[in-house]
């Protein structure tokens, strides 16, 4: 079919190239030509190195195999996230200061029930083993150096995500997209015309002009089209999440890296550790209200045990979401639509979900904005649902050793849903019914809530049984 309708994607970061590839896949057959405009002067944010299992679905949709992209992007497998030192030492707690939030495997259907029953026993005051790790296959695999392709068969499927170099992933998706027919322009947009329909025309710094039927704003935190030009308001999550800055410092890869992201609580936030094949990505996500950037950098360097010769990158984070993700003929994707701090590495998951949901709504409405409101509600709820789960980490942690941790766990930081889930759990009631009734499992499954609340030992009765042994069911995967 001849392309007679145009889609412009402004921005060539991970969000821009993921969007462009999905849009091309689904809308090029209907006559849409996708064009990506990216600026060499501005560049990309260049962090964002961990994913959820959803990224595999993205590659599967595009027909890209792991052996095609993983080696080119220094990618490794990720079975979940290890949370370290999010609880303060307490003599009554026999297990260490860490727990694992796994990506579930099909074989966990059996062991997860054992885990949930253990939690219920503990809530009733009986001794139980409630540390999540030993019940989940991927927690076990991440420590055993067993890659998922060795495990996955018709009978057992384990979910996994990836770690990757975000510059290299962007370059790979750019190359792949252009081979499929996406047009790439390198230009910096200096002026935008808008009208009743929304965005009308973009003007490049060398006087090129660009127009289209639809505009995807993937321009990063600047949100050049959606927020700056169309004045869609931004709703900050500052009342719930305190972190607004980050520092990134790479270190060499060590001989023994686990297939997991590590998130270690520090004095004023937390540090990530993401192993790639070529290096380890590290960083500190913190609140600038409670520590200045120099002190934060010193704390990160001391946590990593590294000298000042390795340079650090300082970043600010705009945490919240646009009040509308699709407005007139413009759709915000990636940092341009909003951002939740990266504790569970959900940003690219939201990018993918936004574009897939948009395509569904656009096609259901016969290429009109008929389902725009439903789409906006859907994406807003996703942001809110994920925000609740991230906020829960701070509310459930018992740390109160700094002013930051005292503030981060304040009840005023809790939304209605989060308050209710915490209350039900602490009173030994069924959180599953509440999560299902309010459809919150669409954002985080009930089992993730169990892992989080048990991981932070949110039990009024505290009769912990030792938990060193992996569930015997996993011996077969050795
Ligand atoms: C500290 C930190 C850690 C993170 N960790 C994770 C993680 O583990 N997992 C995860 O999924 N996400 C993570 N994220 C989020 C992730 O980095 C982003 O979601 C992802 O990189 C996508 O960014 P983007 O494409 O929206 O924006 P950017 O990478 O900023 O790209 C913006 C693009 O727009 C272009 N542009 C801007 N203005 C103009 C203009 N006027 N003219 C032309 N082009 C323009 C730029 O050139 C660039 O190409 C993290 C973010 C931060 C801050």
Q: What is the pLDDT of residues 451-470, one digit of tens each?
A: 999 999 898 877 777 765 77
Chain-wide mean pLDDT for the chain? 94
291 touches 323 (CB < 8 A): no
- pLDDT band for 3, please (50, 70, 90 cuts): low
Asked if residue 2 has pLDDT above 80, the reply is: no
pLDDT on residue 353: 98
Closest CA to 199 of 16, 332, 18: 332
Question: What's the predicted TM-score (pTM) here?
Answer: 0.96
Q: Which of 470, 422, 475, 392 is nearest to 83 (CA)?
A: 392
What angle in degrees, to the nearest 10, is found between the helix axes of 137-144 and 108-123? 110
Q: 151 to each of 146, 449, 478, how far by Cα in Å?
A: 8, 26, 10
Q: Which residues lie across from 102 on neighbouring strands? A: 80
For residue 261, give the ligand 1 atom closest to its CA.
8
Please name every residue paired with 34 in a beta bridge, in sequence order, or none if there are none.
Answer: 7
Tokens of 222: 């600047």
Give Rg (Cα) of the chain: 23
Tell me the best of 19, 48, 275, 282 to mutate to test the pocket of ligand 1, counting ligand atoms within 8 Å of each CB and taking the most: 48
How far, in Å, from the CA of 70 to the mean position of ligand 1?
A: 20
Taking the C-alpha atoms of residue 224 and residue 347, their distance in angstroms, rounded to an integer, is 19
Residue nearest to atom 15 of ligand 1 (CA): 48
The CA distances from residue 430 to 19, 64, 102, in Å, are: 39, 42, 22
Q: What is the pLDDT of residues 326-365, one digit of tens each?
A: 999 999 999 999 999 999 999 999 999 999 999 999 999 9
Task: Give the number of the atom of ligand 1 that is nearest the alpha carbon of residue 346.
Answer: 11
Residues, the chain: 478
Determine the distance separating the centroid of ligand 1 and the alpha carbon of 289, expressed in angstroms.
23
- Ligand 1 interacting residues, C-beta cut-off 6 A: 10-16, 37-39, 42-45, 47-51, 166, 188-189, 218-220, 222, 224, 246, 283, 285, 315, 317, 334-336, 342, 345, 347-348
HEC per residue, the chain: CCCCEEEEEECCCHHHHHHHHHHHHHHHHHCEEEEEEECCCCCCCCCCCECCCHHHHHHHHHCCCHHHHCHHHCCEEECEEEEECCCCCCCCCCCCCEEEEECCECCHHHHHHHHHHHHHHHHCCCCECCCCHHHCHHHHHHHHCCCHHHHCCCCCCECCEEECCHHHHHHHHHHHHHHHCCEEEECCEEEEEEECCEEEEEEECCCCEEECCEEEECCHHHCHHHHHHCCCCEEECCCCCCCCEEEEEEECCCCCCCCCEEEEEECCEEEEEEECCCCEEEEEEECCCCCCHHHHHHHHHHHHCCCCCCCCEEEECCCEEECCCEECCEEECHHHCEECCHHHCCHHHHHHHHHHHHHHHHHHCCCCCCCHHHHHHHHHHHHHHHHHHHHHHHHHCCCCCCHHHHHHCCHHHCCHHHHHHHHHHHCCCCHHHHHHHCCHHHCCCHHHHHHHHHHCCCCCCCCECCCCCCCHHHHHHC
Tokens 């407005």 locate to 327
The pLDDT tens digits for 358-413 are: 999 999 999 999 999 999 999 999 999 999 999 999 999 988 889 999 999 887 77
Question: What pLDDT is attached to residue 398?
Answer: 87
CA distances from 7 to 27, 34, 228, 250, 369 (A): 9, 5, 19, 36, 15
Q: Is 70 exceeded by the pLDDT of residue 140?
A: yes
Which ligand 1 atom is nearest residue 50's CA?
A: 8
Q: What is the mean pLDDT of residues 95-122?
A: 89
* pLDDT tens profile 233-292: 999 999 999 999 999 999 999 989 999 999 999 999 999 999 999 999 999 999 999 999
Q: How far is the CA of 22 from the centre of ligand 1 (A)?
A: 17
Q: How many CB atoms lie within 10 A of CB 382?
A: 21
Residue 308 has pLDDT above 60, yes or no: yes
- pLDDT of 90 > 90? The answer is no
Residue minimizing CA distance to atom 18 of ligand 1: 48
346 C-alpha to ligand 1 centroid (Å): 13
């Amino acid at each position: 079919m001849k392309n007679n309708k145009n889609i412009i994607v402004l921005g060539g970061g991970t969000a821009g190239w993921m969007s462009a590839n999905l849009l091309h896949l689904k809308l090029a057959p209907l006559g849409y030509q996708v064009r990506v405009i990216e600026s060499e002067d501005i560049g990309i944010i260049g962090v964002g190195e961990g994913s959820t299992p959803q990224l595999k679905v993205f590659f599967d949709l595009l027909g890209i195999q792991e052996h095609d992209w993983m080696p080119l992007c220094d990618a490794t497998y990720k079975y979940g996230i290890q949370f370290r030192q999010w609880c303060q030492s307490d003599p009554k707690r026999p297990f260490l200061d860490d727990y694992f939030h796994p990506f579930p495997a099909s074989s966990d259907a059996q062991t997860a029930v054992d885990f949930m029953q253990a939690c219920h026993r503990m809530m009733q005051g009986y001794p139980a083993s409630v540390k999540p790790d030993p019940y989940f296959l991927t927690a076990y695999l991440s420590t055993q150096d067993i890659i998922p392709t060795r495990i996955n068969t018709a009978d057992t499927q384990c979910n996994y995500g990836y770690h990757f170099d975000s510059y290299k992933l962007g370059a790979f998706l750019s190359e792949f997209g252009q081979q499929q027919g996406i047009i790439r322009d390198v230009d910096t947009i200096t002026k935008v015309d808008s009208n009743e329909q929304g965005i009308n025309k973009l003007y490049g710094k060398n006087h090129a002009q660009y127009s289209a039927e639809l505009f995807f704003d993937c321009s990063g935190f600047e949100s050049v089209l959606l927020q700056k030009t169309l004045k869609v308001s931004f709703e900050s999550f500052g009342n719930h999440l305190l972190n607004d800055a980050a520092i990134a410092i790479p270190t060499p890869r060590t001989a023994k890296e686990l297939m997991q992201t590590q998130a270690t609580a520090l004095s004023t936030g937390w540090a990530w550790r993401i192993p790639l094949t070529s290096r380890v990505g590290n960083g500190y996500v913190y609140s600038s209200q409670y520590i200045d950037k120099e002190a934060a950098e010193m704390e990160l360097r001391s946590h990593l045990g590294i000298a000042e010769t390795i340079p650090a990158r300082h970043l600010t984070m705009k945490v919240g979401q646009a009040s509308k993700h699709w407005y007139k003929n413009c759709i915000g994707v990636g940092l341009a639509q909003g951002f939740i701090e990266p504790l569970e590495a959900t940003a690219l998951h939201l990018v993918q979900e936004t574009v897939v949901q948009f395509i569904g709504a656009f096609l259901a409405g016969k290429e009109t904005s008929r389902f725009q409101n439903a789409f906006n509600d859907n994406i807003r709820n996703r942001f809110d649902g994920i925000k609740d789960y991230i906020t829960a980490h701070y509310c459930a942690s018992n740390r109160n050793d700094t002013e930051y941790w005292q503030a981060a766990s304040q009840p005023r930081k809790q939304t209605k849903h989060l308050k209710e889930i915490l209350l039900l759990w602490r009173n030994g009631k069924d959180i599953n019914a509440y999560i299902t009734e309010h459809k919150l499992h669409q954002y985080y499954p009930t089992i993730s809530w169990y892992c989080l609340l048990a991981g932070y030992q949110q039990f009024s009765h505290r009769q912990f049984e030792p938990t060193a042994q992996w569930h015997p069911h996993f011996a077969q995967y050795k």
